[in-house]
Amino acid sequence: MKENKTQTDPLPSWREGPTKESILHFVEGVTTEGGVDSVPPLERIAVFDNDGTLWSEKPFYFQLAFALDRVKVLAAQHPEWQEQQPFKAALEDDLAGVLGGGLKAIIDFLVATHGGNTTDEFEHIVSDWITSAQHPDTGRLYTEMVYQPMLELLDFLRANGFRTYIVSGGGIEFMRAWVERVYSIPPEQVIGSSIETKFEMRASGPVLVRIPQVDFVDDNVGKPVGIHKFIGRRPLLAFGNSDGDQQMLQWTASGAGLRLMGLVHHTDAEREWAYDRDSLVGRLDRALDEARDKGWTVVDMKRDWRVVYPE
């Protein structure tokens, strides 16, 4: 009987309960033809944060691990980094030192380690890294630390006519290098933070050069701005896991008709991590209060997920 269930259940890694019910109820409402909540397929937009929502983010955002590896590659071209923070800390593998410098230091660090090459070169650099670098605690590839239940949710939504977008504070080009393969989300459905790029005609042909200057920060109030800029439609469903997703959820909630606003609550110290209000990475505080206040869907990872990572 259990096997039978698994075959017909679109979300086999989700345990029965109110969280799973809220998802099934939402999709049924939106897709029931002639129903009061029915929405035409072109308008079925679902947006997902990435770090902490589709894959893990501990002990710190995985893209920072990429930047830490990059800083060592680039250090020979930047002798000044030996004495200059946050680069000095990064070169000494002192991530606490990098993070301790605050948001400005982290952004400086990301921008400096992500610029200077062409878009094609950067794509290769990330592809090489993501297929070889291992998580310090689990030893897994980072792409093996995506959440199986969320992969099923992405598939389920797409099977019901939704287009699934990523709306992440992470780098748009960093994500595009691997999310199509891992999440089946194509590059044009990835919205993220970016640095400037500049068109340049070289002898070999035109290139886009990545300039180490912030173009767009797709976090907090930036998320609804990014959604509107790239999609121009209000999503029907938004899933996040931190206060950085609160405005995206508010923006989604403010549309008419049936909506689903979801938060992944990290409650599973055994299979993943447990953290919320006091965490430096992925802090979930005000958004959790608002979710409980408004009856948004809060995933209790420990209770609601049968498995966390793919086998």
User: Rounded to whole angstroms, how far apart are CA atoms 21 and 23?
Assistant: 5
Asked if 126 and 174 touch (Cβ cutoff 8 Å), the reply is yes
User: Is 122 a residue that touches a copy of itself (CB under 8 A)?
Assistant: no
Computed on alpha carbons and rounded to an integer, the radius of gyration of the chain in Å comes to 20
Cβ distance to a copy of itself smaller for residue 63 or 267 = 63
Minimum gap (Å) between residue 281 Cβ and a copy of itself: 23
User: Rounded to whole angstroms, how far apart are CA atoms 235 and 260?
Assistant: 9
Each residue 247-286 as x (binds a copy of itself by CB under 8 A) or -, in order, gives: x--xx--x--------------------------------
User: Is 167 a residue that touches a copy of itself (CB under 8 A)?
Assistant: no
Q: Within 62-101, which residues bind a copy of itself (CB under 8 A)?
A: none
Minimum gap (Å) between residue 205 Cβ and a copy of itself: 4
User: Is 176 a residue that touches a copy of itself (CB under 8 A)?
Assistant: yes
Residue 294: which residues within 8 A CB-CB, separation 6 or more? Answer: 253, 261
**Region of 8-16, 95-103, 131-139, 227-235 interacting with a copy of itself (CB under 8 A):** 227-235
User: Is 201 a residue that touches a copy of itself (CB under 8 A)?
Assistant: yes
Q: In a 3-state reduction of DSSP, which class is residue 132?
A: coil
User: Is 133 a residue that touches a copy of itself (CB under 8 A)?
Assistant: no
User: Is 225 a residue that touches a copy of itself (CB under 8 A)?
Assistant: yes
Q: Within 29-58, which residues bind a copy of itself (CB under 8 A)?
A: 42
Minimum gap (Å) between residue 1 Cβ and a copy of itself: 39
| Structure tokens that stand for 99 in this block | 């993070």
User: Rounded to whole angstroms, how far apart are CA atoms 248 and 226?
Assistant: 9
User: Is 117 a residue that touches a copy of itself (CB under 8 A)?
Assistant: no
Among 230, 273, 275, 305, which residue sits at the site for a copy of itself (rule: CB under 8 A)?
Answer: 230
Asked if 234 and 257 touch (Cβ cutoff 8 Å), the reply is no
Asked if 173 and 119 touch (Cβ cutoff 8 Å), the reply is yes
Q: Tell which residue, 141, 107, 132, 122, has the closest CA to residue 214.
A: 107
CA within 13 Å, CB half, 259: 21
Residues of this chain that bind a copy of itself (CB under 8 A) = 42, 119, 172-173, 176, 186-188, 190, 194, 197-199, 201, 205-206, 208, 221-222, 224-225, 228-233, 247, 250-251, 254
